């Protein structure tokens, strides 16, 4: 059997099941045939960059997932892309690195995680068995006390005071009792106040018996278990790679002001300006640190980057990862046009947390947007139209980003490649 059942009717995932759980997330990557193959090559570079950060920080689960994802992409999935022959030489070098470095590192992580999970699981079972023995002993004591009371002929004491009685008058008619004596009656509290109830975190290890699907969002509510929960094996459910949620993106408070100054010359001519948002990963949060302004061509309602290889060179030199993009709407409000939706799709496909910042100086407005993860992203990925074209508005294709955090204590840096 791969699972044990605790006293709440829940299943505790055993070590091998936990490894399978991680491996499942490691395989969650697909290749869009219409996405430029070079984007996947870049995505792989940034994937390794993040995996190495996780490894150095001791977050072995996330590192394991990203190394697996990297291998899945370049050993298996990238071959499905029609332009695969054009990067065959690069992939050949990547596969050599996988064989020499990444695969051995991943296997060491697998062994380390398995050993750690095994220790946690054994400790959990030992604690549970000890608590079961204590509960049996408490039950024996209760039965013994009950037997002693019965043997002594003890009875349940009356809750009615002895001096509360009904008097009979001379005409044999009952008279009303002295109601002031009711203040002396003690009433038992048969209903718990709820203070002994608690919310159980959705750890990812406690699964409903017979159901292997992990609920990613809901918190379970149940009576607090008797055993020591501090010893229960658990996943870090705040972790997006395991839970499917988005990591927080920290945005320097001056980002919009700095970018609007960069774009001022174009804005005065009613021309859009765009830039790439780049930064780093630390402690499972993403931090925007740079705006990279590439060479570009703009119009009143569009902006196209040029010479992307220059952006990649800068990012490689500074070990930066792509976290989204920023652009102006000189004379319009803050929203994502049909062209913007397709532009952002390429960012969000590579990095689920990638954001699109739209600055609308005429209306003094800023929007922080993402494609809706469960509809808009897939819809735009499958849309083959180019240029400005209509899209349905219901269900919505994009939404305000909920995973950003403004950081007024940090300042954004600029790398302007237009000069």
Q: What is the DSSP letter of 394?
A: S
Residues 255 and 336 in one domain: yes
Q: Are strands 355-360 and 365-371 parallel, antiparallel or unpaired?
A: antiparallel
Q: To the nearest 10°, report the CA torsion of 348, 349, 352, 357.
A: 0
Identify the CATH number of the domain in which residue 58 sits: 1.20.58.80
**Sheet architecture: strand order including 10-13:** 3-5, 10-13, 206-208
Phi first, then psi: what are they for 4, rounded to 5°? -115, 160
The tally of domains found in the chain comes to 2
pLDDT tens, per residue, the chain with 419 residues: 444 443 333 345 789 999 998 999 899 898 998 888 988 989 999 999 999 999 999 999 999 999 999 999 999 999 999 999 888 888 889 999 999 999 999 999 999 999 999 998 998 888 989 999 999 999 999 988 888 888 886 555 555 455 555 454 545 554 444 444 334 433 333 333 444 333 333 333 323 333 333 333 333 333 333 334 333 333 333 455 776 689 999 999 999 999 999 999 999 999 999 999 999 999 999 999 999 999 999 999 999 999 999 999 999 999 999 999 999 999 999 999 999 999 999 999 999 999 999 999 999 999 999 999 889 999 998 888 888 888 888 899 999 999 999 999 999 999 999 97
Give a yes or no: residue 265 inside a domain: yes
| 103-151 helix and 60-71 helix, angle to the nearest 10 degrees | 140
pTM: 0.71
Give a yes or no: residue 192 inside a domain: no
Residues 5 and 96 in one domain: yes
Q: Residue 12: what pLDDT?
A: 53
Give a yes or no: residue 191 inside a domain: no
Q: How many CB atoms lie within 10 A of CB 104?
A: 11
Residues 211 and 291 in one domain: no
Q: Distance between CA atoms of 119 and 20, rounded to whole angstroms?
A: 17
Domain extent, residue 124, equals 1-168+198-245
Q: How many CB atoms lie within 10 A of CB 352?
A: 18
Q: Residue 73: what pLDDT?
A: 94
Rg (CA), the chain: 32
| 60-71 helix and 37-57 helix, angle to the nearest 10 degrees | 160
Q: Which residue, of 213, 245, 277, is where some domain finishes?
A: 245
Q: How far is CA 323 from the centre of its chain?
A: 16
In the chain, the N- to C-terminal Cα span, in Å, equals: 65
Q: Distance between CA atoms of 39 and 252, rounded to whole angstroms?
A: 26
Give a yes or no: residue 17 inside a domain: yes
DSSP characters over 143-206: HHHHHHHHHTT--PPPSS-TT----B-TTS-BPPP-GGGGGGPPPP--S--STTEEEEP--SSE
Q: Distance between CA atoms of 211 and 59, rounded to whole angstroms?
A: 28
Residues 108 and 230 in one domain: yes
Q: Residue 201: what pLDDT?
A: 34
Q: Which residue, of 217, 245, 273, is where some domain finishes?
A: 245
Give a yes or no: residue 207 inside a domain: yes
């Amino acid at each position: 059997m791969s699972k044990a059942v605790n006293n709440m009717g829940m299943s505790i995932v055993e070590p091998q099941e936990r490894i399978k759980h991680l491996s499942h997330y490691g395989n969650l990557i697909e290749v869009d045939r219409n996405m430029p193959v070079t984007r996947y090559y870049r995505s792989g570079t940034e994937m390794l960059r993040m995996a190495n950060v996780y490894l150095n920080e001791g977050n072995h689960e996330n590192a394991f997932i990203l190394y697996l994802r990297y291998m899945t992409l370049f050993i298996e999935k990238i071959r499905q892309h029609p332009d695969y022959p054009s990067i065959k030489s690069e992939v050949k070098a990547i596969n050599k690195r996988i064989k020499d470095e990444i695969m051995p590192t991943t296997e060491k992580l697998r062994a380390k995680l398995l050993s750690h999970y095994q220790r946690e699981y054994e400790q959990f079972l030992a604690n549970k068995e000890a608590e079961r023995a204590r509960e049996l002993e408490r039950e024996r004591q209760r039965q013994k006390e009950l037997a002693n009371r019965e043997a002594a002929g003890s009875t349940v004491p009356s809750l009615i005071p002895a001096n509360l009685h009904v008097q009979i008058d001379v005409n044999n008619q009952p008279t009303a009792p002295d109601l002031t004596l009711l203040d002396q009656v003690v009433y038992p509290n048969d209903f718990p106040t709820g203070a002994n109830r608690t919310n159980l975190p959705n750890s990812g290890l406690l699964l409903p018996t017979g159901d292997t699907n992990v609920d990613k969002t809901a918190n379970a509510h149940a009576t607090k278990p008797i055993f020591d929960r501090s010893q229960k094996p658990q996943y870090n459910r705040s972790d997006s790679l395991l839970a499917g949620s988005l990591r927080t993106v920290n945005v320097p408070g001056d980002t919009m002001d700095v970018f609007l100054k960069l774009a001022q010359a174009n804005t005065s001519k009613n021309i859009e300006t765009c830039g790439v948002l780049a930064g780093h990963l630390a402690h499972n949060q993403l931090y925007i640190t740079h705006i990279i302004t590439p060479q570009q061509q703009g119009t009143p309602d569009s902006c196209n980057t040029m010479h992307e290889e220059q952006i990649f060179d800068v990012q490689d030199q500074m070990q930066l990862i792509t976290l989204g993009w920023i652009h102006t709407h000189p004379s319009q409000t803050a929203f994502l046009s049909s062209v913007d939706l397709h532009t952002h799709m390429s960012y969000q496909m590579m990095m689920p947390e990638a954001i699109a910042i739209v600055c609308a100086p005429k209306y003094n407005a800023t929007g922080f947007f993402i494609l809706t993860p469960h509809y808009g992203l897939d819809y735009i990925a499958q849309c083959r139209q180019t240029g400005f074209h209509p899209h349905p508005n219901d269900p919505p294709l994009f939404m305000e980003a909920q995973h950003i955090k403004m950081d007024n204590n940090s300042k954004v840096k600029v790398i302007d490649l237009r000069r």
